[in-house]
């Protein structure tokens, strides 16, 4: 296996010394890039793009050709697991994901299979190994999955939601049904992420996009405990060879101590918590990833640079910070503003690693 030429991303997560703060952007391969839109048109629909290893590899590499990013992220989606469980995933233009199958009760949930990642999700493993080969050791490859709770919200609601009324109602009225679904998802995610490691992923991320809509008690019961179980079941290794895993609960700023206790290596931070305060709260336990408001990318390059400076300053001296957006880059951002953001991090961060 080729030696990694740039380990900054892994080293910062493992709290080893780095020369500057590493950076990547959530959703760095996406519609804000004209070359992405062209490849997406060539593939037809979004899932066909995910299922074609060569094209998935192409869009993964596109942002790295433009910008000096310190990590590549597998081009795929969190909804591949529900799709492989037979939920009948499709994307309606402008409306986001939808499913043909409904999950109403325990009987529907009991019938769901735990997918074999090397069968119905083999296309994802093919994408991982194709991308890994194409990267040629330039930067590490991040594999990912959704959290059981976040996947359950899409599956029970039948798509995106603003109120989460169906899945929350299930949590209050039929908790045994929701727990069965979450257990199956936790088992599926563990096997899926271990298969991504076998296929070549060098770091992992679990997206808990909707954990923040829960009460503290329900967050522990329906989201955090299942993510902790997954972290326990991953073949991450140890020392310099460890495959760091990052947990990102959007809106989870008040639960950072709990998240740090799962045994994860990094916590993804949205923009609603100050990163310096977050660092004081978690101490040496974990690294932090984030936390610029993606809306800043609509502002001018000078304003973007000031925001970057403030976040670097708030985190302060030393390793343990991976610069990122607090959530995904949106399709209406100008590519030159993303460039100004990345440039600001590469230029302004070395002084924070001088000691
Ligand atoms: O970061 C990357 O570059 C890797 C690719 C990636 C995608 N989705 C591609 C994608 C990753 C890491 C995801 C994760 C994902 N998917 C999450 C968790 C992170 C987050 O954003 O909170 C969630 C909640 C999803 C579910 C999902 N997928 C939704 C709600 C949508 C529709 C939203 C939209 O913007 O239209 C998707 C589709 C999707 N996934 C797109 C991309 C690039 C847009 C599809 C297109 O090209 O039309």
The residue range of the domain holding 174 is 8-353
The residues pairing with 266 across neighbouring beta strands, listed in sequence order, are 246, 287
Residue 77 assigned ligand-binding role = yes
- Say if CB 117 and CB 191 are below 8 A apart: yes
Answer whether 79 contacts ligand 1 (Cβ < 6 A). Answer: yes
Cβ of 90 less than 6 Å from ligand 1: no
- Report the CATH number at residue 314: 3.20.20.210
CA of 76 to the centre of ligand 1 (A): 8
Q: Which residue of 39, 60, 328 sits with most ligand 1 atoms within 8 Å of its CB, as the best mutation to test the pocket? A: 328
Distance of CA 193 to the CA centre of its chain: 12
**Residue found by looking up tokens 């949930």 in the block:** 109
pLDDT at res. 355: 79
Helical segments of 200-266, H only:
216-218, 225-233, 256-260
Beta bridge partners of 245: 204
- Best residue among 30, 82, 124, 252 to mutate for probing ligand 1, ranked by most atoms within 8 Å of CB: 30
DSSP result, 67-83: S--S-EE-S--TTHHHH
Q: Is residue 2 part of a domain?
A: no
pLDDT on residue 314: 98
Enumerate the active-site residues: 27, 31, 40, 77, 154
Supply the pTM of this predicted model.
0.97
Task: State which H helix or E strand residue 110 sits in.
Answer: helix 106-110
- Say whether 326 counts as a known binding-site residue: no
Q: How far is the CA of 96 from the centre of ligand 1 (A)?
A: 9
CA torsion, ordered 156, 157, 161, 165, to nearest 10 deg:
-90
**CA–CA distance, 324 with 311 (Å, rounded to integer):** 10
Measured by CA distance, the residue closest to atom 47 of ligand 1 is 46
Q: Is 345 part of any domain?
A: yes
User: Ligand 1 mean position to 319 CA, how many Å?
Assistant: 29
Residue 113 φ then ψ, to 5°? -85, 160
Residue 322, strand partner residues: 289
Q: Is 28 in the pocket of ligand 1 (CB under 6 A)?
A: yes
Residue 3 forms part of a structural domain: no
Measured by CA distance, the residue closest to atom 29 of ligand 1 is 96
In tens, the pLDDT along 214-250 reads 999 999 999 999 999 999 999 999 998 999 999 999 9
27 labelled binding-site residue: yes
Residue 53 lies in a domain: yes
Cβ of 31 closer than 6 Å to ligand 1, yes or no, is yes
303 lies in some domain: yes
Residue 1 confidence (pLDDT): 55
* Residue 2, pLDDT score: 61
CA neighbor of 290 nearest in space, from 326, 255, 315, 259? 326
Prior bond of 209 cis (ω within 30°): no
Structure tokens at 268: 């993804």
Number of domains in the chain: 1
82 lines ligand 1 (CB under 6 A): no
Backbone angles phi, psi at 173, to 5 degrees: -95, -30
Q: Whose CA is nearest to atom 23 of ligand 1?
A: 78
Question: Is 1 contained in some domain?
Answer: no
| Alpha carbon of 145 to ligand 1 centroid (Å) | 11
Helices (H), 140-255: 148-157, 165-173, 175-199, 216-218, 225-233
DSSP 267-318: EE--TTS-HHHHHHHHTTS-EEEEEE-GGGGGS-HHHHHHHHHHHHHHH-SS
- pLDDT digits over 313-333, tens only? 999 999 999 999 999 999 999
CA of 218 to the centre of ligand 1 (A): 25
Let me know if residue 291 belongs to a domain. yes
Low-confidence ranges of the chain (pLDDT < 70): 1-2
Q: For residue 30, say whether it is annotated as part of any ligand binding site.
A: yes
- The answer, yes or no, to whether any atom of ligand 1 lies below 6 A from the CB of 36, is no
Q: Which residues lie below 8 Å from residue 16, measured CB to CB, with a gap of 6+? A: 240, 319
CA nearest ligand 1 atom 19, residue: 207
Distance 17 CA to ligand 1 centre (A): 32
């Amino acid at each position: 296996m080729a030696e990694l030429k740039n380990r900054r991303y892994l080293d910062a997560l493992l709290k080893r010394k780095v020369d500057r703060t590493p950076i990547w952007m959530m959703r760095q391969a996406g519609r804000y890039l004209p070359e992405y839109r062209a490849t997406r048109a060539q593939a037809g629909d979004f899932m066909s793009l995910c299922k074609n290893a060569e094209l998935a590899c192409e869009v993964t590499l596109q942002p790295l050709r433009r910008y000096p990013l310190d990590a590549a992220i597998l081009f795929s989606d969190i909804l591949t697991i529900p799709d492989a469980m037979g939920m009948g995933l499709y994307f309606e233009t402008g409306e986001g994901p939808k499913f043909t199958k409904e999950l109403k009760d325990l009987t529907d949930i009991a019938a769901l299979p735990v997918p074999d990642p090397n069968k119905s999700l083999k296309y994802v493993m093919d994408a991982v190994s194709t991308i890994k080969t194409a990267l040629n050791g330039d930067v590490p490859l991040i594999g990912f999955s959704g959290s059981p709770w976040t996947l359950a919200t899409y599956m029970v609601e039948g798509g995106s939601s603003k109120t989460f009324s169906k899945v929350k109602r299930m949590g209050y009225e039929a908790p045994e049904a929701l727990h069965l679904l979450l257990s199956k998802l936790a088992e599926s995610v563990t096997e899926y992420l271990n298969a991504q490691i076998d296929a070549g992923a060098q770091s992992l991320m679990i997206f808990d996009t909707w954990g923040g809509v829960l009460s503290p008690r329900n967050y522990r019961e329906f989201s955090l405990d299942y993510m902790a179980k997954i972290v326990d079941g991953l073949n991450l290794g140890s020392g310099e060879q460890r495959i760091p895993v990052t947990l990102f609960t959007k809106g989870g700023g008040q639960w950072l101590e709990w998240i740090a206790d799962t045994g994860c290596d990094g916590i993804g931070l949205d923009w609603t918590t100050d990163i310096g305060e977050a660092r004081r709260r978690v101490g040496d336990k974990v690294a932090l990833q984030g936390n610029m408001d993606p809306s800043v990318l609509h502002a001018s390059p000078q304003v973007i640079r000031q925001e970057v400076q403030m976040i670097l300053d708030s985190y302060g001296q030393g390793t343990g910070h991976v610069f990122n957006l607090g959530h995904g880059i949106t399709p209406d951002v100008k590519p030159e503003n993303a460039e100004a953001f990345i440039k600001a991090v590469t230029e302004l961060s070395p002084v924070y690693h001088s000691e």
